[in-house]
Amino acid sequence: MKASIILPTYKEKDNIVELIYAIFQAIPAELTYEVVVVDDNSPDGTAEAVRQHFQDDPRVKLFVRTRERGLATAIRYGIDHSDGEILVFMDTDFNHDPKLLPQMIKFLEYYDIIIGSRFVMAGGMEDRFRQFSSLIYNYAIRLLFHTPVHDNLSGFFSIYRDKLVSMNLNQIYYGYGDYFIRLLMVGHKRGYKMLEVPVYYRLRMHGHSKTQFLSTFTKYTLALLILRLKLWTGRMR
């Protein structure tokens, strides 16, 4: 089988090349794979860095979006422009450790979704404030939706393509990281088997986070309320 590792990027020039090489090192030699970079026309030259290093490498696909921006829609674009039977999704700031890729691909033999989780044993974050606030927020999500998943905000996950595209992706892939909450809720409602593997978020090595705490908290909370209403009314399947 072929795996597609999808990397949405925006202003990650100092991370993206090193990350792709780390993915090359982590993927088992016997696995066929591609790395799909979807860049939202970053002004820092992220796409150009990818071109300079990987222009002649058939393992790397680069797409630059000039008319649309946003994490969720970039990921959706990557889904539509990849061809692996296995899909893996990662951030590009090294929060998501490429060394976990073999596990996240292998365990799909037994589960439907593999999630890189900060809130299982051996997981965590260097940023203690973000860890505490994310832990509390995830606890509230579990209470609200009765889901077994501990890290509903991860975004580091793997899934078979057919399992994902059988969902209504238009109902899931919009906004920011809240798309992952919607995806997990639909998967949970369908009875998908989910496994969380520990991941430890280190402070980013280069650049600045695009996540603004108060704005993100407000958007996620609104998204949760809308999702709860859709689930109650049967509009989310």
Name the CA radius of gyration of the chain, rounded: 17
In total, how many domains does the chain have?
Answer: 1
Q: What is the mean pLDDT of residues 198-214?
A: 68
Q: Quick one: tokens of 55?
A: 């222009």
Q: What is the mean pLDDT of residues 210-225?
A: 69
CA distance linking residue 108 with residue 118, whole number of Å: 19
At 143, the pLDDT band (50, 70, 90 cuts) reads confident
Higher-pLDDT residue of 24 and 134 is 24
167 secondary structure, DSSP code: S
Domain that residue 183 falls in? 2-233
At 120, the pLDDT band (50, 70, 90 cuts) reads very high
pTM of the shown model: 0.90
pLDDT at position 71 over 60: yes
Closest CA to 108 of 37, 195, 188: 195
Distances, alpha carbon 131 to alpha carbons 22, 128, 153, 199, in Å: 25, 5, 11, 12
User: Residue 10 sits in a domain of what CATH number?
Assistant: 3.90.550.10
pLDDT at position 219 over 80: no
Number of neighbouring beta carbons within 10 Å of residue 191: 7
pLDDT of residue 203: 78
CA distance linking residue 49 with residue 16, whole number of Å: 8
pLDDT at position 213 over 60: no
- CA angle, residues 9, 161, 115, in degrees to nearest 5: 65
At 237, the pLDDT band (50, 70, 90 cuts) reads low
Q: Position of tokens 């890290």?
A: 151
